[in-house]
Structure 1
């Protein structure tokens, strides 16, 4: 048995929260820290998820805009000119972004004097980990192993079809003739629009009655209408009963529920959900408990069932967003430095943005959630054309809406579908966090013509309280 090496802090996985914790504890608190990672440096977001996918989305938007702007710059050109992406160049640009981020993170690890250990780590006991034949113990150990795309191999033929996940799709150097996407969540919709704009035919197959099942019906109706006009085909309330063929050549999906019994495509991606990466890391050896869904069981301060061991991010069941992983870092840092955040992870805001064009931004209660909970509200709604900036951009489709207390003035929820509406969230979030009146926004003087200017008209249109 190797001689144990002791650290103040050990992270199993280099996700958002873990690397930030290690950097802070080392550089600001003088702790001896190590981060163990066998996969992408700094977790999935910078390397195989958020940043590369948003780079792809951006490049797809450039292709789309070039296509749309053709009549302005080229006499006789049509609005739907024959413009397709050169995929090797797209992937090369994506790789440049990823490589740049990886190099930046490697530099930070060195500057912060945090040891980055490349290898597969696993618990062999409480607060004891092995990696590369080394035995490491820590006063504090954090699990940040993330999640991975799940593929339902119980569907006949699915395994043999070798479907892609987002990881493989982001390496594709050949534009699909017909990309079939299983799943109408965030990943599925962003890729659907991106690949249509890049020049592929795209079909989204969703088992629920609508894509983004958590969203309000009016939002989804508008969003799917926009994507449909661009060429995305939607098959909702549809189940895949079997698959034949191989992705990259030809795949045939047999269906039930949609009226269609079969659909053929050249490529297949599965984007139906994610599962926590908690197997094969020795949690049983350490006595660390899991939830029925397979996440590491934690309390509101992210403590596991073993003292001194914590879990953060996707593997701990936190909402699957990088910015929530960042908040997990703040919660745990506060605890480790002696000033625990009251309530920890409870009652925190969960903002979200779908990076289609237009974007879909949300925070707080949705209308259907308020109705289900019996929460009375006042509703204000403003078409995107009322956000005057959209007229200059030529992107007036969509709308924004806000829910305000029926007998008070606090903001309960906000949703917007429009260009760059993710940038509107902080203004609304701050008012919600501080429990201020919606009139704090309607009373602002905001620069014309910015997108935020439209918030004033939206919040001014909140109906008066019932007398």
Structure 2
């Protein structure tokens, strides 16, 4: 077996890998980038880009149904062409994937190797019949859908977020297992396409990491569109029948059986680390298989880093890209950056979306420190009223002593964009009064954030 030596090896062409390969090669290093399947990783192929394209199609259908509310009269009915819906999402993903591959193959000093890499030692990986060696190896292998070991799950046809993208017909009744981000996004979009949808969640409420009022509001929004929920499903089991798949439940109330034509498993993610041979490199992983890293994303083995979904330090495209920035800054720019420098932020792309930054009120309350809280319903936001989309609310939590913003949530129209004004203030380490005294553009969602900050009250 031949051995090729490089200055660096990047395993995986997800969000962080190509950008790091670009920085390293621009710095004069020879780089091998290894990709086993699709360039672009989860975001490009089975995550953000195709799913948010589907969300956009579902929203278009929703707006058409509401056209009469805006004085627009449509004669007759309309149909959903799921093949076109799927094709549009597939085109967006394919174009992005091809662009990533083209970019990598055009990089000077970067060699693209396609295949499955396995560690042979701390500085060597094997890809097919070829051995690659380097002083620096960067693991960027991403994650995949978790398949829970529920009774009967191995005997039913089920879908994941990946295989769901291949569906080009409308499921008569989609049963979603899991009431968190992926499950709720698919639940709403397929309800808007016309499927009957039932969400089954083991816990007592949806998206348990959020404050209870956020969970309740999102449930109310989706129920208003016809999505059905079964919460507290402590014991689930599956069986096939002539109609599709039946899920047996142990819930506090309601029918103990739900039968649907399709079942989507949306119960978390797991890292793609189980077949990398990490033990041969001596790289430590935690009990869930995530690569253990320090604040600069270094593993326990000198010369090996891990970035993106596989390190358990963030499960988002933006955190993966920030991982690349942290590694590049420390390695190439003499600019000390740390994972703990970043403020948690993310969005849930139901419609209206939830934008989140920093701590929840529940998390702040647990610290025992005095805090202030502000809240404003979207019914009192002019932009929302004008657009006829007044569901949700905005909320902010502030440290009573320092006046620094600790966290915020905006569940409402354009909440995923408006949250950034708050996030920027937090990164600037400025008191909330800086944002409160700003003059925002009217009419926008953001203009009511200073108003909300002027109405803070002690938290309880």
Q: TM tier, shorter chain?
A: over 0.9
Asked whether 1:266 is paired with 2:264, we answer no
> Which of 320, 329, 337 is the equivalent residue of 1:334?
329
Summarize the alignment of residues 239-318 of structure 1 with structure 2, pairs less than 5 Å apart.
Answer: 239-245=234-240, 250-259=244-253, 260-318=255-313
Q: CA deviation at 1:408?
A: 2.9
Structure 2 vs 1, CA of residues 257 and 58 (structure 1 numbering), >3 Å: closer, same or farther? same
Q: What does 1:72-111 correspond to in 2, within 5 Å?
A: 72-74=71-73, 83-111=78-106
Question: Which runs of 5 or more residues in structure 1 are unaligned?
Answer: none
Equivalence for 2:24? 25
Shift of 1:174: 0.9
Q: 2:358 aligns with which of 341, 364, 375?
A: 364
Q: Does 1:129 align with 2:125?
A: yes
Corresponding residue number in structure 1 for 2:135 = 139
Provide the rounded CA distance (Å) in 2 between the counterparts of 1:393 and 1:411.
29
* Paired position in structure 1 for 2:317: 322
Q: Secondary structure in 1 aligned to 2:102?
A: helix
CA shift, 1:9, in A, is 1.3
The 8 Å contact of residues 14 and 35 in structure 1, kept in 2 or not, is answered as yes
Pick the aligned partner of 1:351 from 325, 340, 345.
Answer: 345
The offset of 1:235, in angstroms, is 0.8
- The alignment's C-alpha RMSD in Å is 1.8
**CA distances 1:197-216 after superposition (whole Å, capped 9, x unpaired):** 01100000000111100111
Map residues 70-219 of structure 1 onto 2, 5 A cutoff: 70=68, 72-74=71-73, 83-113=78-108, 114-152=110-148, 154-219=149-214
The residue aligned with 2:388 is 394
Alignment-derived partner of residue 438 in structure 2: 444
CA distance in 2, matches of 1:338, 1:73: 56
What CA distance in whole angstroms lies between the structure 2 residues aligned with 1:237 and 1:375?
32
CA deviations over 1:125-144 (Å, ceiling 9, x no partner): 11101112111111210111
Deviations 1:94-134 (A, max 9, x none): 11101110121122113323322111111111110111211
The residue aligned with 1:429 is 423
Q: State the distance in 2 between where 1:239 and 1:41 align.
A: 38
- Partner in structure 1 of residue 373 of structure 2: 379
Aligned residues: 457
* Cα displacement (A) at 1:162: 2.1
Q: What SS does structure 2 have at the residue aligned with 1:346?
A: helix
Contact 1:240 1:253 in 2 (8 A): no
8 Å CA contact 2:374–2:453 kept in 1: the answer is: yes
The whole-number CA distance in structure 2 between the counterparts of 1:293 and 1:141 is 22
Equivalent-residue separation in structure 1 for 2:78 and 2:234 (angstroms):
34
Looking at structure 2, the residues matched to 305 and 207 of structure 1 have their Cα atoms a distance apart, in angstroms, of: 36
Quote the Cα distance in structure 2 between the aligned partners of 1:73 and 1:389: 20
Which segment is superposed worse, 86-95 or 451-460?
451-460
Give the Å deviation of 1:464. Answer: 8.3
TM-score normalised over the length of structure 1: 0.94
3-state SS of the aligned residue for 1:166?
Answer: coil
Separation in 2, partners of 1:446, 1:193 = 32
SS at match of 2:175: strand
- The 1:82–1:242 alpha-carbon spacing in structure 2 relative to 1, beyond 3 Å, is farther
Q: Structure 2 CA distance, aligned partners of 1:111 and 1:155?
A: 46
Report the more deviating stretch, 63-72 or 199-208.
63-72
Residue of structure 1 aligned with 2:451, choices 449, 454, 457 = 457
Shift of 1:313: 1.2
**Is the contact made by 2:370 and 2:458 (CA closer than 8 Å) also made in structure 1?**
no
- Answering whether residue 371 of structure 2 is matched by residue 405 of structure 1, we say no
Contact between 2:373 and 2:458, CA under 8 Å: does it hold in 1?
Answer: no
Question: Cα distance, 1:15 vs. partner?
Answer: 1.5
2: distance between equivalents of 1:321 and 1:372?
26
> 1:347: how far off?
4.3
Q: Contact between 1:12 and 1:142, CA under 8 Å: does it hold in 2?
A: yes
Aligned equivalent of 2:222: 227
Equivalent pair of 2:18/2:100 in contact (CA under 8 Å): no
Are the equivalent residues in 2 in contact too, given 1:235–1:258 (CA < 8 A)? no
Task: Say which SS state the counterpart of residue 57 (structure 1) adopts.
Answer: helix
Paired residues of 1:67 and 1:82 also in contact (CA < 8 A): no
> For residues 165 and 143 of structure 2, what CA distance do their matches in structure 1 show?
17
